[in-house]
Structure 1
Amino acid sequence: MKISRTIGGFRLDRVLLGLLLVGCALLAGRAWLQDHPEHNPWSPLNLADPPGWATSRKLAALHGDPAECRAVLERSGVEFAQLEPAGEGACRRESRVRLGDSPFGSDAPISSCAVAAGVVYWLRHSVEPAAQELLGSPVRRVEHYGTYSCRRMYNRDDGPWSEHATGNAIDIAGFVLEDGRRVSVLRDWPGEGQNSAFLHRVRDGACSAFSTVLSPEYNAAHADHLHLDQQGRAWGFCR
Structure 2
Amino acid sequence: MIARIVGWLVLASLAGAIAFGYAVYSKRIVLPERYDPFAPLDVRAPQGPLTRFKLWRTMHDAQRCDASLARSGLVYREMADATGAGGCELKDVVRVTQSEDIRFSAPFLATCPLALGLAYFEHQYLQPAALDSYGERVARIEHVGSYACRNVNHQQDTALSQHASANAIDLTGFVLDDGRRITLARWDDAASPDGQFLRRVREGACRSFDTTLGPDYNALHKTHFHVDMGPYRVCR
- Write the distance in 1 (CA, Å) between the matches of 2:90 and 2:35: 32
Determine the structure 2 residue equivalent to 1:141: 140
**Aligned CA distance change for structure 1 residues 84 and 117 (closer, same or farther; 3 Å):** same
CA contact (8 A) 1:189 1:199 kept: no
Determine the structure 1 residue equivalent to 2:107: 108
CA contact (8 A) 2:73 2:119 kept: no
Cα drift, residue 215 of structure 1: 1.1
**Aligned CA distance change for structure 1 residues 20 and 196 (closer, same or farther; 3 Å):** same
Determine the structure 2 residue equivalent to 1:196: 195
Map of 1:1-239 to 2, 5 A cutoff? 35=31, 37-38=33-34, 42-52=38-48, 54-56=50-52, 58-62=54-58, 64-87=60-83, 91-102=88-99, 103-105=102-104, 107-232=106-231, 236-239=233-236
RMSD: 3.2
Cα drift, residue 112 of structure 1: 1.2
Percent identity between the aligned chains? 35
Where 1:199 maps in the other structure, the secondary structure is: helix
**Aligned CA distance change for structure 1 residues 192 and 128 (closer, same or farther; 3 Å):** same
Amino acid at match of 2:46: P
**Aligned CA distance change for structure 1 residues 40 and 196 (closer, same or farther; 3 Å):** farther
CA contact (8 A) 2:147 2:163 kept: yes
**Aligned CA distance change for structure 1 residues 35 and 202 (closer, same or farther; 3 Å):** farther
Q: Which has the higher contact order (CA 8 A, sep 6+)?
A: 1
Which runs of 5 or more residues in structure 2 are unaligned? 25-29
TM-score by length of 1: 0.80
Please identify the structure whose Cα radius of gyration is greater. 1
Cα drift, residue 109 of structure 1: 1.4
Which runs of 5 or more residues in structure 1 are unaligned? 1-7
CA contact (8 A) 1:62 1:232 kept: no
